[in-house]
Structure 1
Amino acid sequence: MALQKLVAVFAVILLINKGCHSRNSGCGNAALNTRIVGGQTAVPGSWPWQIVFKNADFFFCGGSVINNQWLLTAAHCAPSIDPDTTSVHLGIFYLNSFNPGEVIRSVAEVHCNPGYNSQTYNNDICLVKMSAPVNFTEFIQPICLADENSTFYDELSVWVTGFGITSKLFNISFFQQYCSLVPYQVLTLFYFQLGLGAVADTLQEVSVPIIGNNRCHCYNQAYSTVTDNMMCAGVEAGGKDSCQGDSGGPLVSLYEGLWVQAGIVSFGDDCALPMRPGVYTRLSQYQKWISDTVTGKKPGFVTFTSTGFDNDWFFSCDSSVFSSGENLRHFTHLTILSVFSLILQFFVSNGKM
């Protein structure tokens, strides 16, 4: 009798453990990534779920592989995704050079969350189906996704990857004050061609801590609302962040040997400014929508459980710190503001007008 009780208790423990972690060994594996906390330079294959979207060899957004035919990206990237012209590049580490494990696909379908709001960037998430499945290699792997029971506490270490802007001649706030919105592809073409910003040629990575939503809302209250569908990450002192061109890319963290995507690069106030963390789409809010939309093998969901206490519960906002914040403006990591005269200058200098 005692033995039967012991077996029953052991079985219950196994079931609880399986339910809590929802582990799926088919996702979140990066054999070439030896990084645990940091300190080493990335090598090809370090982030095998990273993809980029290109139109005519010009890249405009990132994304992540979630099964052999489906990708995740930001909804604000969708206007530039055209099934007739957009290519998807997987297994990519060098943006404009040869990649030994690179695979290219076209786009078959784009499904953005029906609740997406282009003004507030709430529900900034899209699913993209590729034209054909891909085979997984050491350079191409699906990322695990945070499920609906996941928790990401304040100060948790996460990683952001992408090919976005690494240096700027002018801060984006300069253009925000004097320019008007233009389509991303047009804008970034001029921005880079005129030498106003440099984009990375190799995949960039940065480790930043989670900033809890209470603290993030306090820091960002002058120009945006941080909803429960969003999460934030960044260094309070500034200097580390995602930036223009990183949009749609993954925010990931290592959990029990598996890499789990927590967020999608969405928007922020310029890049890497003090007390202006980047804002990301919170993936754990979309498990049902993703599962209902994706066809074929379902993505691997993992319950990411933060340990200890969430310091954000005890955060109190001192709004007096942000008394001059009324001059801040909202923009996305995809959309940059530009001056019409610069566009004219570009065309004139290239003899196209």
Structure 2
Amino acid sequence: MSTMEEKLLLLLLVTLTGIDAQLDVCGQAPLNTRIIGGEDAAQGAWPWQANLHFQNRSFCGGSLINNLWLLSAAHCFPENIINNQVDLMIYLGRQTQEPPNPNEVSRSASQIIIHPGYSSATGDNDVALVRLSSSVTFSNFIKPVCLAGTGSELEVGVSAWVTGWGTIDVGRPLPPPQRLQEVNVPIVSQQSCNSSYGFITNNMICAGEAGKGRCREDSGGPLVVKNESLWIECGVVSFGRGCGESKHPGVYARVSQYESWIRGHITTNPPGFIAIRMVVRSSSSSMPGSLCVLALTLPLLLFLQQDV
């Protein structure tokens, strides 16, 4: 049994940040039965995953956050794409880059909003919103993800998942039929991450370990954690050095820093924000290993075994 498997997860559900229209549907993946790491993702396992194509080529990912908007990375949209949005296509419900994809729908982009504080030099504030040309209908294969709300905290070692169609290593493209990939990665400390890069800010969160992490063309995709049956996006794939290098974890835009900015642009049918605090404790601690719900008023305190 691995060290992570021997840990318990203490999850503090701080509050539901407002009455969000998406909270009754976001973060649900009924076809996701994965517990431990793998490579190929099961059909419908990550129903919020979006695939962005420019001039018929896959180049970035994103996540569906309501029926009309995607969350992605700012660096996915350089000037040539912003000025040629007619050549941008978004796919939802896609499993492989090669047909058939019977559960897939496609939309063009009607608006791209880059965070005003985005720095291409440092990668700070690497988030963007993409408005679809028309709304999508939710199904088991197309659903929005919940978003980590303001004040959310993820302790070092918490288990997270990253997904995408990027390369599987430096110079190694995803082989046919180019199936959506998934990988389980631990959250890395800000101090350790900053010692690797030297410019990590509070708007970033790091995750990964040797041989596991984001890679080229995964940009804009989601880093998610699981709260019982709900999946919550805590990061947007931003940058890294190499792919899965032990001394250079993947760097992600910290979603909880952008709740106000996202709400300011999506005023109708807002995404589902959930403020969470997730920490890991050694199994040798006095905390019970079985599920224990304490009868408290909000915030609600939960103890549960982490699925890794």
Give TM-score scaled by structure 1 length: 0.71
The one-letter code of the counterpart of 2:46 is W
CA contact (8 A) 2:151 2:256 kept: yes
Question: Which residue does the alignment assign to 1:305?
Answer: 277
Deviations, residues 25-75 of structure 1 (Å, cap 9, x unaligned): 310000100123446953110000001111232110000000000001000
Q: Does 1:274 align with 2:246?
A: yes
Unaligned segments of structure 2, at least 5 residues: 1-11, 283-308
- 1:19 Cα offset (Å): 6.2
Superposed displacement of residue 258, structure 1: 0.4
AA partner of residue 294 (structure 1): I
Contact 1:109–1:129, Cα closer than 8 Å, also in 2: yes
Match for residue 52 of structure 1? 51
Deviation at 1:100, TM superposition (A): 1.3
1:106 is aligned with what amino acid? S
Report the identity percentage.
43
Give the drift of 1:263.
0.2
In the alignment, is residue 152 of structure 1 matched against residue 185 of structure 2? no
1:98 partnered with 2:72: no
CA apart distance, 1:295: 4.0
Deviation at 1:98, TM superposition (A): 1.4
Q: Partners of 1:40 and 1:85 in 2: how far apart?
A: 30
Q: Does structure 1 retain, via aligned residues, the 8 Å contact 2:38–2:183?
A: no
| 1:208 is aligned to 2:185 | yes
- Give RMSD over aligned pairs: 2.0
1:287 alignment partner in structure 2? 259
- For residues 244 and 39 of structure 1, do their structure 2 counterparts lie closer, same or farther at Cα, with a shift above 3 Å needed? closer
Once the two structures are superposed, residues 137-193 of structure 1 have per-residue CA deviations (whole angstroms, 9 ceiling, x without a partner) of 111000000001211110110000000001445xxxxxxxxxxxxxxxxxxxxxxxx
TM norm structure 2: 0.81
Match in the other structure for 2:236: 264
Selected match of 1:129 from 128, 131, 135: 131
Q: Shift of residue 78 of structure 1?
A: 1.1
Residue identity opposite 2:268 in structure 1: G
Q: Counting strand residues as a fraction of each chain, which structure ranks higher?
A: 2
Q: Which residue of 2 aligns with 1:252?
A: 224
d(CA) in 1 for partners of 2:180 and 2:236? 16
Give, in whole Å, the separation in 2 of the partners of 1:18 and 1:156: 15
| Shift, 1:88, TM fit | 0.4
Amino acid at match of 1:149: G
User: Does residue 25 of the first structure (1) align with residue 2 of the second (2)?
Assistant: no
Quote how far apart the aligned CAs of 1:307 are.
3.0
What secondary structure sits across from 1:232 in the alignment? Answer: strand
Which letter does structure 1 place at the counterpart of 2:33? T
2:86 paired residue among 84, 103, 106 = 84
The runs of 5 or more residues in structure 1 that have no matched partner are 1-16, 170-196, 311-353
Q: Please give the alpha-carbon distance, in whole angstroms, between the structure 1 residues aligned to 2:131 and 2:138.
A: 16
1:45 counterpart letter in structure 2: G
Asked whether the 8 Å contact 1:153–1:309 carries over to 2, the reply is no
After TM superposition, give the deviation of residue 273 of structure 1 in Å: 1.4
Q: Assess, with a 3 A threshold, how the Cα gap between structure 1 residues 36 and 50 changes in structure 2: closer, same or farther.
A: same
Which structure exhibits the higher relative contact order, with contacts defined as CA atoms closer than 8 Å and separated by 6 or more residues? 2
Compute the displacement of 1:252 (Å). Answer: 0.4
Cα distance, 1:269 vs structure 2 = 1.1
- Aligned equivalent of 1:112: 114
Q: Which has the higher helix share?
A: 1
Once residues 34 and 24 of structure 2 are traced to their aligned partners in structure 1, the CA distance between those partners, rounded to angstroms, is 19
Residue aligning to 2:204? 230
Find the aligned partners of 1:307 and 1:54 in 2 and give their Cα distance: 37
**Aligned partner letter, 1:26:** V
Which string of whole-angstrom CA distances, capped at 9 and with x for unpartnered residues, describes residues 109-160 of structure 1?
0011100011111000000000000000111000000001211110110000
